[in-house]
Amino acid sequence: MNASARTSTRDIARAAVRAELSQVAFGLFLRDGFDNVTVNDLAAAAGVSRSTFLRYFDTKEDAVLGAVDAQGERLADALRARPAEEDDWTALRAALDTVVEPYGYDPAAALASTRLILDTPALCARQFEKQHSWRVGLAQALAERASSSGLGPVAASVKAAAALDCLNIALDHWTASDGELDLVGLLDEGFAALAPR
């Protein structure tokens, strides 16, 4: 077995353990409430030591939001992959499909997760902090697009921030409707409200 195969196997195993720990944490947070659960509680429920749990997640917030970091990278990559002739706003909306598509796979779990985040001030603040780095990545991807060659850094940041606000507002309305409203439709509506005329 070569070194890259070992690394790949190790990465797969690490991702599986992270996913399992995250699943246990999510269940405990839903049952007992985020603020009532400690890292020691999470470790005990998962059958690992506190130090093992902290090897995978720096904080209990990260046990819920760990996947959010990867979403930001996928979102920026999706934006870069959009056709060069597509206008920035259309490209941003299409790129956001990478974030909203998973909500359709298991809407009940997505609703529970979104509700947990929105109803827990520490998680909500941490998610907005993570999305701030998304904005930076999106603005950079906009600047790299051929159709945006004249787009300055302030304009790129504003467009990226507006796109993320459309996402967050769509999620707010979707959650308030108990998942009854169409999330994609809500996102489209938000983007239409700011579309260049």
| pLDDT 10s digits, 26-54 | 899 989 999 999 999 999 999 999 999 99
Structurally, how many domains does the chain consist of? 2
Give the domain range for residue 5: 1-57
Query: How far apart (Å, rounded) are the C-alpha atoms in residues 160 and 143?
Result: 11
What's the number of CA atoms in the CB half-sphere (13 Å) around residue 5? 2
pTM of the model: 0.84
At a CB cut-off of 8 Å and minimum separation 6, what does 5 contact? none
pLDDT at 70 over 70: yes
Secondary structure (3-state) at 3:
helix
Q: How far apart are CA 163 and CA 89, in angstroms?
A: 8
DSSP labels, 175-189? HHTTT-S-HHHHHHH
Last residue of a domain, one of 41, 57, 73: 57
| Rounded Cα gap, residues 109 and 24, in angstroms | 14
70 with 150, same domain: the answer is yes
CATH of the domain at 27: 1.10.10.60
What's the rounded mean pLDDT across residues 180-193?
96
Higher pLDDT, 58 or 1: 58
Task: Tell me: do 44 and 96 sit in the same domain.
Answer: no
145 close to 83: Cβ distance less than 8 angstroms: no
Q: Is the dihedral of CA 165, 140, 62, 14 positive or negative?
A: positive
Q: How confident is the model at residue 92 (pLDDT cuts 50, 70, 90)?
A: very high
- Token readout for 77 is 């990559």
pLDDT band at 146 (very low <50, low <70, confident <90, very high): low
Residue with tokens 């169409």: 182
Question: How far is Cα 92 from Cα 164, in angstroms, rounded to an integer?
Answer: 9
| pLDDT value of residue 10 | 84
Q: How high is the mean pLDDT of the chain?
A: 89
The CATH number of residue 150's host domain is 1.10.357.10
Q: Can you give the pLDDT at residue 97?
A: 96
Mean local confidence (pLDDT), 77-105: 93
Q: Provide the total of helices (H) and of strands (E) in the chain, helices listed first.
A: 10, 0
Statement: residue 68 has pLDDT above 70? yes
> What are the backbone angles phi and psi of residue 86, rounded to the nearest 5°?
-75, 140
What is the pLDDT confidence band of residue 14, given thresholds at 50, 70 and 90?
A: confident
In three-state secondary structure terms, 84 is coil
pLDDT in tens, 130-140: 899 899 999 99
